[in-house]
Amino acid sequence: MAGVRVLVGTRKGAFILTADGTRRDWKVDGPLFAGWEMYHLAGSPQNTDRIYASASLGWFGQQIHRSDDGGTTWTPVGNEFTYDGDVGTHQWYDGSQRPWEFTRAWHLEPSLSDPDTVYAGVEDAALFRSVDAGRSWQELRGLRCHESGPDWQPGAGGMCLHTIIQDPRDADRLHVAISAAGVFRTADGGKTWQPANRGLNSGQIPQPEADVGHCVHNLARHPARPDTLYMQKHWDVMRSDDDGASWYDIGDGLPTDFGFPIDVHAHDPDTAYVVPITSDEQHFPVDGKLRVYRSRTGGGEWEPLTHGLPQEHCYVNVLRDAMAVDRLDDCGIYFGTTGGQVYASPDAGDTWTPIVRDLPSVLSVEVQTLP
Amino acid sequence: MTEPATTTAIRVHLPTHLRKLAHIDDGELTLDVPGTVTLGGVLDILEHHYPVLTGTIRHHGTDRRRAFIRFFACEEDLSHEPHDTPLPEPVVRGTEPLLIIGAMAGG
């Protein structure tokens, strides 16, 4: 029987949650890498036994681990992320220029087609790629060396490249999102990059419609309609129907359009999910009610999903990489909170159940759909 | 015939996270360090025997100490000493360990 494996990264280790296709009874393994900040774990779409994990600590820096048996055993692989060539500078919080300095890998994105190829989005913002299953990493320097690079500045969480979206039609086409620079896309495998932020409007920067400088929180794409992209921005939920060339607002109907994660139903490109958060100053749900919002119309109309979620006294957050969907017929959806809960819905969001309640603060949630 | 290189057995204490990472079961390990025993020489040998520790104590490329790592020996803080400074005599004699410590910085 098909099943799922949920990969959970937390502030103090990783956990692997597994269930059969009913997604009712869960086995919880962990903590793995106890004590390490696990920004992200991600499995290869080509080989579900192959999982990559990013572990970091302020004391000891970055580690990348790889499993080739579905997370039972792990091997540390390459941890050297060296910017290629002249490091250059970017804008710091106080407006001064500061040299790029590697801090950690926020996001790992295994290739859609090759289990040995994996991308890493890092802080300070840059994109690295490994083609030897994580043993060595090479920067795709065209992104960091974009002419706008000196104007990029950190968001509150650091200047991070946190989202990597592959195009199922062409492995050379990628979108990335950087806080706070915005979206960039390449059509030549990362050699050259163009900003893809037309239509964004951010009141927190001097020129609200500037090409670069937007605090994009997360992107999502459905493989069956790859020209459509969804975006959760610092404020605003946005959509593009032209591969990111332009964006329009789809946030009408939400209680607030501030939030972090966004995702798309596995089998319906018009069904999207967000978790509205009160504001940039209040990173918790509106009125203490934890509600996922679902649009079945590609945005613009949203319905709250509350069954099984706390509807009073709830003041957790859901971070940008902490929501994911499985690919079973009825599309399970999962998210983790800064309060350590991981919720699962086996029915596309209609009902929710906590798999675990008391983990460390959850940084990331990914799902593998098992044969 | 070449004389075998003279080595000195140096006791090294590592933080728990790094011992686990390197699969070092004991609380302390002993490294045979050739030539004059310096802090940098000990770290070179440590990383040679345990490549997984490369980048965890010193930055890749520059060998600069990571900000929240400290080096103590004989109740002295050696963290700010040049890496070619000889280690104290009790460390060289093996009566005292070199302590590699994660700084008290939260967590």
Q: Show pLDDT as tens, one digit a residue, over chain A (371 residues).
A: 589 999 999 999 999 999 999 999 999 999 999 999 999 999 999 999 999 999 999 999 999 999 999 999 999 999 999 999 999 999 999 989 999 999 999 999 999 999 999 999 999 999 999 999 999 999 999 999 999 999 999 988 899 999 999 999 999 999 999 999 999 999 999 999 999 999 999 998 889 999 999 999 999 999 999 999 999 999 999 999 999 999 999 999 999 999 999 999 999 999 999 999 999 999 999 999 999 999 999 998 999 999 999 999 999 999 999 999 999 999 999 999 999 999 999 999 999 999 999 999 999 999 999 99
Size of interface A-B (CB pairs under 8 A): 46
Architecture of the CATH domain B7-102: Roll (3.10)
Q: Which residues pair with A3 in a beta bridge?
A: A20, A370
Asked if A1 and A329 touch (Cβ cutoff 8 Å), the reply is no
CA distance A12 to chain B (A): 9
- Pick A60's closest partner by Cβ from B17, B60, B61: B17
Alpha-carbon distance A134 to A128, whole Å?
A: 10
Which domains can be identified in chain A, with CATH numbers? 3-370 (2.130.10.10)
Domain boundaries, chain B: 7-102
| Sign of the four-CA dihedral B86, B89, B94, B100 | negative
pLDDT value of residue A2? 87
Surface-to-core class of residue A58, CB atoms within 10 Å of its CB (0-12 exposed, 13-18 middle, 19+ buried): middle
Query: In the Cβ-directed half-sphere of A316, how many Cα atoms lie within 13 Å?
Result: 28
pLDDT value of residue A157? 87
pLDDT value of residue A86? 92
B58-B59-B61-B64 Cα dihedral, nearest 10 degrees: -60
Name the DSSP letter for residue B57: S
Q: In this complex, do B55 and A79 lie within 8 Å of one another by their Cβ atoms?
A: yes
Q: In this complex, do B60 and A80 lie within 8 Å of one another by their Cβ atoms?
A: yes
- Pick B105's closest partner by Cβ from A58, A61, A80: A58
Q: In this complex, do B55 and A58 lie within 8 Å of one another by their Cβ atoms?
A: no
Q: Please, which residues have CB within 8 angstroms of residue A219's CB and are 6 or more apart in sequence?
A: A163, A165, A175, A177, A183, A229, A230, A231, A262
Nearest to A106 by CA among A151, A160, A145: A160
Q: In this complex, do B55 and A61 lie within 8 Å of one another by their Cβ atoms?
A: yes
Alpha-carbon distance A62 to A36, whole Å?
A: 10
pLDDT for B106 beyond 60: no
CA distance B60 to chain A (A): 7
Q: Which helix (H) or strand (E) holds A164?
A: strand A160-167
Phi-psi domain of A327 (left: phi exceeds 0; alpha: psi -120 through 50; beta: other): alpha
Alpha-carbon distance B74 to B71, whole Å?
A: 11
- A61: which chain B residues are within 8 Å (Cβ-Cβ)? 55-56, 59, 66
Q: In this complex, do A59 and B17 lie within 8 Å of one another by their Cβ atoms?
A: yes
The angle formed by the CA atoms of residues A367, A333 and A161, to the nearest 5 degrees, is 60
The angle formed by the CA atoms of residues A182, A188 and A192, to the nearest 5 degrees, is 50
Interface of A with B (CB under 8 A): 35-36, 57-63, 76, 79-80, 82
Q: What is the ipTM of this complex?
A: 0.90
Q: In this complex, do B18 and A60 lie within 8 Å of one another by their Cβ atoms?
A: yes
